[in-house]
Structure 1
Amino acid sequence: MEIPAQSASFKSVHIPVKSHQKLPSGAQNLFSSLHFRRIGRTDHFKSSASTQAEKRVSDSSDHTLKMTQPLSNPKNQNGQGWVHFVGVGGCGLSALAMLALKQGMEVSGSDIVWSSFMDGLQESGARLYLGHSESNIHRNDRLGLPNSIVVSSAIPPDNVEIVYAKSIGVPVYKRDYWLGKVTEHHDLIAVSGTHGKSTTATMLAYVLSAMGVDLTAIVGAHVPQFQGGNMIAGREQTFVLEADEYDGCFLGLSPYITVITNVEWEHVDIFQDEEAVINTFRRFLKKIRLGGHLILCGDSEGAYSLLHHARRECLSDSALWIPNSQLASAGYRLSTFGISDFNEWHASSIRPNLQGGSDYVLYHRGRPVGDISLQLAGAHNVLNSLAVIATIKALVSDQKLTADALNSLGLHLNNFMGVSRRFQMIGKINECRIYDDYAHHPTEVRAVLQAARQKFPSMALWVIFQPHTFSRIVAFKKDFAYAFSDADRVVITEIYAARETNTWNVTGRDLASSIIRPSAKYIPSLEDVVEKLILEIFINPNQKVVVLTLGAGDISTIGPRLLHELREKSVDTSNY
């Protein structure tokens, strides 16, 4: 099954939707009910609440590193709250920092490397520091001491700012605990899964916002269609969150709706095997609020195993259509989605469209209910859209999705352009197109290559893959061997170490030699990769080729540099 990285050609477009905007009649009837889908809470949490560092926080069961005062009173003696974020450059913590700014908090933060997320924070008024130091959180004449320190999972407990904060009595919170407090008084929709959660959460937030829901959303990637980059700060109760399993981060949440896109072994530095991942997700399901809803991909063996120890093929075709009685004891309802027709929501007649994406017929409990068109390529994006549809239906409970409402929903699904670094087009020169994707797991690699083949069936596909972490390559070497079969040429660079040291004595050459089809070439240096690509593309500018860079490290720098230097060479040549 292929479910992760997502595709799109990007423009920077903000959703110009206000909560009072006029909607089609069907959509108005559908989404006006969202204001009444409450679970006994009306107060908002006003005091809202990484770049990877050398090590992660070692004690994943301890949500609060130090608690010396209640989180419910985050303001200092001058009446203004000050929150300091350690690891603020990461996609997750930067969104929390921006949300705190939007909610009127004083925000500061530090990281060892400057990131693009920090640009927006600084422009919005955050005080940011490059490097960690006690001086970053010294007493301020205006604010006093920080009321709280929020720490990324990637920050080690001996970080100088953490140690100093504890010594002066400032409470230090891990990201999972802070997320739980930020969302506890909202109707939380937590989108989780091994792959696809960034795009699914973003797609859901985009569609709901476009249809008039004034929601809050936090996702773990840059979104060109979000004015806030990786977050939306709304005023109503609905809160869409990308819920991360890394370090058990999502276990601090209490969601009203939980979406599980798929489950398989990943984050091998945290989970020793697939069973450990499944057990963590099972714990997460126990966090769903009484009367809530679980939206689950029935096509994913790992996701389905969360419900039963029996395998999927042992069930009758209708087993996933009428699940409420089966899960009554769990205290929440269940809806499933997938391409297989035994799911409550499923897609049929999937086919490429002229946008380079996918069209399909939407089925609900075996009956066709509408046609959906996406500008995103790949079967994984069909699954992502099905998760969004099932979630929106869960939000309105037993109300029927009218034809007008489905048409409106389908329109906004089609307008969704995706998430940065998910099959993102970097640019085009002559007959060469350059794309970039975050894929760093074999399942993700297979999915994005399948999407590339769908979008460009007659073009050569050259893949530059930067392996991410030594432990992941050791664990998935056999799976990577077959993951690149849709490519015409593959280049493997040296492994991006991230937070690890190479105790396994593994290199990118080992991975390259294991790839079965096509044969892969090992070029360790990104600099050398760019030079070789420039030479080969420049010599034959009319060859139709897609260059696709893949990985979770600094591989994303190759595409823009390659495009720039090819254009420079073209200009120089034209001057003769």
Structure 2
Amino acid sequence: MRKSVDNINSVYFLGIGGIGMSNLARYFLSKGKKVAGYDRIETPLTIALEKEGAEIHYQDKVDLIPDYCKDNTTTLVVYTPALPADSEELVYFNSNGFTVQKRAQVLGLITASSKALCCAGTHGKTTTSSMLAHILKTSHLDCNTFLGGILKNYDSNLMLSDKSEFTVVEADEYDRSFHWLHPYMALITSVDPDHLDIYGTEEEYLKSFEIFTGLIQSGGALVMRHNIRLSPKLKEGVRLYTYSIDRGDFRAENVKVGDGEIRFDFVTPKETIENVQLGVPVRINIENAVGSMALAWLNGVTAEELRRGIATFQGAKRRFDFILKTDDVVFIDDYAHHPDELSASITSVKELYPDKTVIGVFQPHLYSRTRDFADQFARSLSLLDELILLDIYPAREKPIEGVTSKIIFDKVTCKKTLCRKDELLDVLKDKKIEVLLTVGAGDIDQLLPGIKELLEDKF
């Protein structure tokens, strides 16, 4: 493994359009490196990267790799574990002496010399890491950030600082990627089983988080959600704190919801910071705010900086993202793709709009996840007033016999429709829509502009 990235001239990304890969591409562009890559489809993110200087193509062909990325002594190759092992380009690089590393390996190398604040968890890690990044960025501490979502305050998933010793990192448990990181402090939001196609069992999934806790540097800290099923393996000198919405070392008290606002008092082990206003006023974000504020507070962010940071946080794209909000119709998009995330998202929408009908559009992500959690998905989706269920987005997987969206659909108890992605706009045209929620981690976001246009025309 390389000990430095200073001696490379070019970086080639296999899967450059991924949200995590793109922030590394932006990092290397900022350092004056030549950046190129491959992805399956053109997206707004790849188009943005091309405008920023990256050379990207959309066919898995060695002939399309730029010549400046074919020198194995000066080119670093970064790949996503979601890439098929038989990818023509991946096979070429592996067979010709190139340094080929996972994104997490490179991220660990870049952040090793800084104070890395790593947010991990089955769900909530993008929002908490984004909140933490914004709080630090607007405080006297500043920070560098590598996020798993586009932070709306900055329209980017990468922020750099030439003066801060802190780096905020979204720590991804997929494929045990977070084991490459070097946390100074860490936050763990949840450990609900996921990625069982990788881990096999719930026990192995939990074990990976225990290993992650053992990576926290002595003198640092772990902030762990109260009552999650995890036995951390901390080094000597690592402090342990708990948090949640209403109990733990860090918590919220006197929560007030009304008039489109959420306010609460932020309780720490030493002080209470009163009347904090939540920038994205959704109940699930109270707990996310408590966790992110806890890490910021432990590193010296002042009470006034905490108040200002959390009040001005605009959210990450695709995390409870208001696409359209008028007196007639509300359209929200969310990345939720695990049953517990869906329950939290749907419950939050229904709390915000208790007198309106909520229609949800869900695109399942992965055949294996659909198979493993079909019953749980059905229970969560039944919280809706009406469900429109799309086909499974396969991502990295081949089809599994007998596994389709129908195994969820048949168990859902609310009003429901099953349709293909290309039929969705026609289905929505005939619906009376008050609140529309689109959810899923696949390519459902490609439909958002068309849905928004339809709703604007309709109302």
Same fold (TM over 0.5): yes
Question: Shift of residue 266 of structure 1?
Answer: 0.9
User: 1:408: which partner in 2?
Assistant: 305
CA contact (8 A) 2:388 2:419 kept: no
CA contact (8 A) 2:245 2:287 kept: yes
CA contact (8 A) 1:357 1:455 kept: no
1:26-62 CA distances to partner (integer Å, 9 max, x unpaired)?
xxxxxxxxxxxxxxxxxxxxxxxxxxxxxxxxxxxxx
Q: Equivalences for 1:130-145 in 2 at 5 Å?
A: 130-137=58-65, 139-140=67-68
**1:129–1:502 distance in 2 versus 1, CA, 3 Å:** closer
Q: Which amino acid aligns with 2:430?
A: L
CA radius of gyration, larger in? 1
Question: Does residue 395 in structure 1 map to residue 299 in structure 2?
Answer: yes
1:310-349 CA distances to partner (integer Å, 9 max, x unpaired)?
xxxxxxxxxxxxxxxxx6x6331112111243x1111123
Using the alignment, how far apart are the partners of 1:295 and 1:102 within structure 2? 32
Question: Shift of residue 74 of structure 1?
Answer: 4.5
Corresponding residue to 2:426 among 513, 519, 531: 531
Using the alignment, how far apart are the partners of 2:382 and 2:407 within structure 1? 18
Question: Does residue 337 in structure 1 map to residue 337 in structure 2?
Answer: no
Q: Equivalences for 1:319-330 in 2 at 5 Å?
A: 330=236
User: 1:72: which partner in 2?
Assistant: 4
**1:368–1:148 distance in 2 versus 1, CA, 3 Å:** closer
Question: Shift of residue 394 of structure 1?
Answer: 1.8
Question: Shift of residue 515 of structure 1?
Answer: 1.9
Gap regions ≥5 residues in structure 2: none
Using the alignment, how far apart are the partners of 2:69 and 2:286 within structure 1? 54
Q: CA RMSD in A?
A: 2.4
Q: Which amino acid aligns with 2:445?
A: S
Corresponding residue to 1:463 among 360, 372, 375: 360
DSSP-derived class of the 1:439 partner: coil
User: 1:284: which partner in 2?
Assistant: 212
Question: Shift of residue 138 of structure 1?
Answer: 5.3
Using the alignment, how far apart are the partners of 1:74 and 1:131 within structure 2? 29
Corresponding residue to 1:483 among 362, 380, 390: 380
Using the alignment, how far apart are the partners of 1:214 and 1:185 within structure 2? 16
User: 2:285: which partner in 1?
Assistant: 381
Q: Which amino acid aligns with 2:416?
A: K
Q: Equivalences for 1:36-75 in 2 at 5 Å?
A: 70-72=2-4, 74-75=6-7
User: 2:255: which partner in 1?
Assistant: 350
Size of the aligned set, in residue pairs, is 458
**1:565–1:135 distance in 2 versus 1, CA, 3 Å:** same
Corresponding residue to 1:307 among 220, 228, 232: 232
DSSP-derived class of the 2:196 partner: coil
Using the alignment, how far apart are the partners of 2:73 and 2:270 within structure 1? 60
User: 1:193: which partner in 2?
Assistant: 121
Using the alignment, how far apart are the partners of 2:374 and 2:458 within structure 1? 38
Question: Shift of residue 566 of structure 1?
Answer: 4.2
Question: Does residue 183 in structure 1 map to residue 111 in structure 2?
Answer: yes
CA contact (8 A) 2:135 2:296 kept: no
Q: TM-score of the superposition, structure 1-length normalised?
A: 0.75
User: 1:153: which partner in 2?
Assistant: 81
User: 1:370: which partner in 2?
Assistant: 274
User: 1:321: which partner in 2?
Assistant: none
1:255-313 CA distances to partner (integer Å, 9 max, x unpaired)?
101111111101121122322111000111111112111111114x22xx2239xxxxx
Corresponding residue to 1:547 among 436, 452, 455: 436
CA contact (8 A) 2:213 2:232 kept: no
Question: Does residue 99 in structure 1 map to residue 27 in structure 2?
Answer: yes
User: 1:90: which partner in 2?
Assistant: 18
Using the alignment, how far apart are the partners of 1:484 and 1:166 within structure 2? 43
User: 1:265: which partner in 2?
Assistant: 193
241-250 or 478-487, larger mean C-alpha shift: 478-487
**1:520–1:331 distance in 2 versus 1, CA, 3 Å:** farther
User: 2:183: which partner in 1?
Assistant: 255
Using the alignment, how far apart are the partners of 2:244 and 2:210 within structure 1? 20
Q: Which amino acid aligns with 2:55?
A: R
Question: Does residue 472 in structure 1 map to residue 378 in structure 2?
Answer: no
Give identity over the alignment, percent. 29
Between Structure 1 and Structure 2, the one with more strand by share is 2
**1:226–1:143 distance in 2 versus 1, CA, 3 Å:** farther
User: 1:433: which partner in 2?
Assistant: 330
Question: Shift of residue 168 of structure 1?
Answer: 3.1
Question: Does residue 234 in structure 1 map to residue 161 in structure 2?
Answer: yes
Gap regions ≥5 residues in structure 1: 1-66, 309-326, 538-542, 571-576
CA contact (8 A) 1:442 1:483 kept: yes
Question: Shift of residue 167 of structure 1?
Answer: 3.3
**1:374–1:125 distance in 2 versus 1, CA, 3 Å:** same
Using the alignment, how far apart are the partners of 2:166 and 2:271 within structure 1? 30
1:48-105 CA distances to partner (integer Å, 9 max, x unpaired)?
xxxxxxxxxxxxxxxxxxx5xx4426435xxxx2111111010011100101111222
Using the alignment, how far apart are the partners of 1:257 and 1:117 within structure 2? 30
Using the alignment, how far apart are the partners of 2:271 and 2:281 within structure 1? 25
Q: Which amino acid aligns with 1:280?
A: S
Using the alignment, how far apart are the partners of 2:170 and 2:307 within structure 1? 22
**1:180–1:459 distance in 2 versus 1, CA, 3 Å:** same
CA contact (8 A) 2:72 2:97 kept: no
Q: Which amino acid aligns with 2:244?
A: G
Question: Shift of residue 106 of structure 1?
Answer: 1.7
User: 1:454: which partner in 2?
Assistant: 351
Using the alignment, how far apart are the partners of 1:392 and 1:426 within structure 2? 29
**1:417–1:494 distance in 2 versus 1, CA, 3 Å:** same
Corresponding residue to 2:49 among 94, 114, 121: 121
Corresponding residue to 2:454 among 562, 565, 570: 565
Q: Which amino acid aligns with 1:252?
A: W
Higher relative contact order (CA 8 A, sep 6+): 1
CA contact (8 A) 2:385 2:415 kept: no
DSSP-derived class of the 1:164 partner: helix
Using the alignment, how far apart are the partners of 2:86 and 2:58 within structure 1? 18
**1:211–1:74 distance in 2 versus 1, CA, 3 Å:** closer
Q: Which amino acid aligns with 1:162?
A: L
Corresponding residue to 2:317 among 420, 426, 430: 420
Using the alignment, how far apart are the partners of 1:142 and 1:346 within structure 2? 53
Using the alignment, how far apart are the partners of 1:366 and 1:140 within structure 2? 56
CA contact (8 A) 1:189 1:256 kept: yes
CA contact (8 A) 1:288 1:332 kept: yes
CA contact (8 A) 1:209 1:215 kept: yes
